[in-house]
Structure 1
Amino acid sequence: MSIEFLLTSLVIVITPGTGVLYTMAAGLSRGTKASVVASVGCTLGIVPHILAAITGLAALLHTSAVAFQTLKYLGVAYLLYMAWSTWRDKGNLLVEKDKEPRPASRVILSGILLNVLNPKLTIFFFAFLPQFVSTGAPDAVWKMVELSAVFMAMTFVVFVGYGAFAAAIRTHVISRPKILSWLRRGFAGAFAGLAASLAFTDK
């Protein structure tokens, strides 16, 4: 495994996106445990894209405009839903120590959907993994599986770090309605911005 792969993966993972926003929102609203659960969901959401890249299904998205556009707009719709629900639900970022936790399964499912409905990830892995694997090698598939596992582990660790940071500062926003309001609007705007970015993404 090359240092180039590790460094490139780290840069990609630490770049804020939907997963980071979701994990930080969980950490701010419900603490470290919730952010870890959210990180699990976002990390699992990468699996379908990795499998698609490894099995060659990404080639279909790369060559079929209909397939790409369909998945893309499903992702846009879900991001807009996240923006809308975050904006209107004033309790979504309400920080309370005795707040009833959301079911872990629901948090994980939302995290999975955020990443599954993003066709850019499939195209990314389709273009990214072959750069570090000799396609003619007999163990090329297993090598891509190994690299993908490392990428997922790195994603989980970084997301947990983001979530832990958000959870650490949550005590500073307790009982500060204005800060909570701006945070809620900021997350809603960020989700909407990501939706717009995805909507205008071409192959």
Structure 2
Amino acid sequence: MISMEFIITSFIVILVPGTGVIFTVSTGLVQGRKASVFAALGCTAGILPHLMATVLGLAAIMHTSALAFQTLKYAGVAYLLYVAYSTWRDKSTFSVNGNPSTNAATGLIVKAFLLNILNPKLTIFFLAFLPQFIRPDSSKHLSQLFLLSVTFMVMTLIIFIAYGVLAHAFRKIVMESPRVQAWLRRGFAATFASLGASLALTEK
């Protein structure tokens, strides 16, 4: 049984702006509502390996292995800096087309997926977060972890899509102002760069 405490806590955790939220919002602003849904799908899929690692006990290895953590961390840093650089340079990202092609949609999903899968902090987070909501009087700990994980993923997808739709509501303002486009592009690039720097400074 999923407790209301878990629902409320997860809701607050997901609402807090992080890499996935920022990417989904930026996609909704610059490419439209449909594109933001693909971004939300990719970001949600990107947390699946971290959840599975927690459920299967691999997160404990990540927590104790400095090499594994550092390797994944710096891969994530490099990718965030790449996203920051490409966002800063690519002035064509503010496209009027709100219906991305199949290739563009796939690219968005892959890009969003990589943003989350290359963040080792997510594995450590789930290792600390999920066990708090396991009923100690139950012997089905594995099934409880799976249920909690699925619930968290569904909530993530719904909230991220909502973020993207809200961002899309402001898209008309963005499209009509080249100055706003420029500031948003630089702002998102700077945000991704700062997230990369923050990840680089993260210790286990």
Which residue of structure 2 lines up, in the alignment, with residue 7 of structure 1?
A: 8
C-alpha distance in 2 between matches for 1:113 and 1:100: 19
Amino acid at match of 1:115: N
Equivalences for 1:98-113 in 2 at 5 Å? 101=101, 103-113=104-114
C-alpha distance in 1 between matches for 2:63 and 2:100: 44
Quote the offset at 1:99 in angstroms: 7.8
C-alpha distance in 1 between matches for 2:51 and 2:100: 35
C-alpha distance in 2 between matches for 1:125 and 1:161: 23
Amino acid at match of 1:96: V
C-alpha distance in 1 between matches for 2:148 and 2:117: 19
C-alpha distance in 2 between matches for 1:132 and 1:126: 12
Structure 1: which 4+ aligned runs deviate by more than 2 Å?
97-103, 134-138
Q: Is the 8 A contact 1:37 1:108 kept in 2?
A: yes
**Which structure is higher in helix share?**
2
Q: Is the 8 A contact 1:42 1:115 kept in 2?
A: yes
Q: Is the 8 A contact 1:28 1:95 kept in 2?
A: no
Matched, 1:160 2:164: no
Task: Deviation per CA, 1:35-84: give whole Å up to 9, x if none.
Answer: 01110000000100000001111111111111100000000000000000
Q: Is the 8 A contact 2:33 2:98 kept in 1?
A: no
Matched, 1:63 2:64: yes
C-alpha distance in 2 between matches for 1:180 and 1:42: 24
C-alpha distance in 1 between matches for 2:111 and 2:23: 9
Quote the offset at 1:12 in angstroms: 0.7
The alpha-carbon distance between structure 1 residues 63 and 98, as it changes in their structure 2 partners (threshold 3 A), is closer
Which residue of structure 2 lines up, in the alignment, with residue 187 of structure 1?
A: 188
Quote the offset at 1:175 in angstroms: 2.8
Which residue of structure 2 lines up, in the alignment, with residue 149 of structure 1?
A: 150
Quote the offset at 1:136 in angstroms: 7.0
C-alpha distance in 2 between matches for 1:74 and 1:91: 26
Quote the offset at 1:147 in angstroms: 0.6
Amino acid at match of 2:202: T
Could you list the runs of 5+ residues in structure 1 that have no partner in the other structure? Answer: none
The alpha-carbon distance between structure 1 residues 160 and 28, as it changes in their structure 2 partners (threshold 3 A), is same
Task: Deviation per CA, 1:171-192: give whole Å up to 9, x if none.
Answer: 1121311100000000000000
Q: How many residues align?
A: 202
Which residue of structure 2 lines up, in the alignment, with residue 88 of structure 1?
A: 89
**Identical-residue share of aligned pairs (%):** 52
Which residue of structure 1 lines up, in the alignment, with residue 21 of structure 2?
A: 20
Q: Is the 8 A contact 2:77 2:197 kept in 1?
A: yes
Q: Is the 8 A contact 1:86 1:187 kept in 2?
A: yes
Could you list the runs of 5+ residues in structure 2 that have no partner in the other structure? Answer: none
Q: Is the 8 A contact 1:37 1:104 kept in 2?
A: yes
Quote the offset at 1:141 in angstroms: 0.6
The alpha-carbon distance between structure 1 residues 46 and 135, as it changes in their structure 2 partners (threshold 3 A), is farther
TM-score (normalised: structure 1):
0.95
Quote the offset at 1:98 in angstroms: 7.1
